[in-house]
Structure 1
Amino acid sequence: MTDELPRDRKNASSASSFEHKKHVRPKQESGEREEWVWILDYLPYGKEDDLRPVYQKKPLIQSLGDNKFVLLELIPVEGKVPPVHIKTHIGPGEKEYVDRVKARIMYDELSRGAKLELPLVLADAVKAQEARFIKFYNDAQPVSMRQNSLELLPGIGKKLMLDILAETKKKPFDNFEDLKKRVPPLRDPEKHIIDRIIEEMKGGQKYYVFAAPPKMKRE
């Protein structure tokens, strides 16, 4: 079970779409299941470290979940080759490119191509869910006595954090452009989100803000 962090008493009753969770033991909870994924790489002969003869190898898809940013390995529909960087449905119903989910994987298990594609896909995913991430900036709360959730974002220190909080007190940000206009030192708010998501995918974090904690490493 994850422990919810203490919030500012004034905001204790306010609902937030972000739950800052301490990492105890990652598991696939119902809220972490993905209905949609972004294709990161198509591997016609499976993983590079698969030493079986070519005729025994099966194609694989490596993908990024659109909700909790879970990394998944998928079995493609026979005869279908999904384009990289598209978003496709993997939930119940008609199968477009994905036959089934094979396994949840770790960041280190991504192919070289998938790792290169990941920041580009995340840029589109974050932009598509702009309201979700603007809410994070608007609703930022302390995660400890000395740290605000904004400081979990790579590149955001105390001064920038205080500038953002000062502006939210005046009026919530409407979108990324509004945020950049009102806090000029924050030149690329999307990138701070993307960098944090990738950090969380790699594991070893005390708090998981956007991504589900990675699965336990196989022995």
Structure 2
Amino acid sequence: MEANSKEEHAIVLDFLPNGYPFDTRPSHLKTPIVQAIGKNRFVLLELVPKKDILLQPNQEVYIGDGKRDHIHHINGRIPESKLTRTARAELEFVIRKIINENQQRFIDFFNKAPPLSTRMHSLELLPGLGKKRMWEILEARQQELFKDFADLKSRIHLAPEPDVLITRRILQELVGEEKHMLFVSRPEHLQRPLQH
């Protein structure tokens, strides 16, 4: 995942045809709002659809630089706290769906995850994965890299499924002030400068 790459596609979490309910402007001044999550960097976005377009939760929309069929423009990133109830209800399901559709990308994480320091490994940042399971994964991947989630599950006994582990980590990164971001792109104003 490139640090500067932009999202090309997003999945709709919620569509508000009359804008936010707490918006006190007259209804003719309100714009429809789409809350969505980027498929590549898991960025929460606020989008404005084109006129007379109706969108459904779980619908994929193109948000890249080319011609967009459904989206007029991108308002920007939004914090997890600004998501509607519907968007929050859809969030975990949509993240898990993205993970399962892109298994190779996430199995590569298990195959290539590096240590963060002499005392901590990036695999340990997955909720529910302790030192014992981390060492099992490291030893198993040294013998042969994992092919997919089924291969990982057959060789390593994980209490939660691999996609559930990754989903939980992504949710933590979206909600909290995590020091290490494994899957979610950190907002530009929070980027730490490279130390030389």
The answer, yes or no, to whether TM exceeds 0.5 is yes
Residue equivalent to 1:62 = 35
1:93/1:185 CA distance change after superposition, 3 Å: closer
> Is 2:60 the counterpart of 1:87?
yes
> Is 2:155 the counterpart of 1:162?
no
The one-letter code matched in structure 2 to 1:43 is L
> Is 2:95 the counterpart of 1:122?
yes
How many positions carry a matched residue from both structures?
A: 190
Greater RCO structure (CA 8 Å; 6+ sep): 1
Residues in 1 aligned to 2:9 and 2:74: alpha-carbon distance in whole angstroms = 12
Measured after TM superposition, the shift of residue 83 of structure 1 is 1.8
The one-letter code matched in structure 2 to 1:114 is A
Residues in 2 aligned to 1:54 and 1:91: alpha-carbon distance in whole angstroms = 29
Residue equivalent to 2:175 = 202
Contact 1:40 1:84 in 2 (8 A): yes
Residue equivalent to 1:77 = 50
> Is 2:8 the counterpart of 1:30?
no
Residues in 2 aligned to 1:186 and 1:175: alpha-carbon distance in whole angstroms = 17
Q: Deviations over 1:42-88 (max 9, x none)?
A: 01121232122333221100000111111110010100111210212
Residue equivalent to 2:113 = 140
Secondary structure of 1:122's counterpart equals: helix
Secondary structure of 1:207's counterpart equals: coil
Residues in 2 aligned to 1:106 and 1:215: alpha-carbon distance in whole angstroms = 13
Identity of aligned residues (%): 37
The TM-score with structure 2 as length reference comes to 0.90
Secondary structure of 2:134's counterpart equals: helix
Residues in 2 aligned to 1:121 and 1:78: alpha-carbon distance in whole angstroms = 25
The one-letter code matched in structure 2 to 1:39 is V
Residues in 2 aligned to 1:214 and 1:106: alpha-carbon distance in whole angstroms = 10
The TM-score with structure 1 as length reference comes to 0.81
Residue equivalent to 1:192 = 165
Aligned residues: CA RMSD: 1.8
Residues in 1 aligned to 2:141 and 2:4: alpha-carbon distance in whole angstroms = 33
Residues in 1 aligned to 2:26 and 2:154: alpha-carbon distance in whole angstroms = 57
Measured after TM superposition, the shift of residue 187 of structure 1 is 4.0
Unpaired runs of 5+ residues, structure 1, are 1-16, 20-28
The one-letter code matched in structure 2 to 1:122 is I
Q: Deviations over 1:15-48 (max 9, x none)?
A: xx5x9xxxxxxxxx632x2111011100112123
Contact 1:153 1:192 in 2 (8 A): yes
1:215/1:81 CA distance change after superposition, 3 Å: farther
The one-letter code matched in structure 1 to 2:164 is K
Q: Deviations over 1:72-113 (max 9, x none)?
A: 100101001112102121112332211110121111111111
Unpaired runs of 5+ residues, structure 2, are 191-196
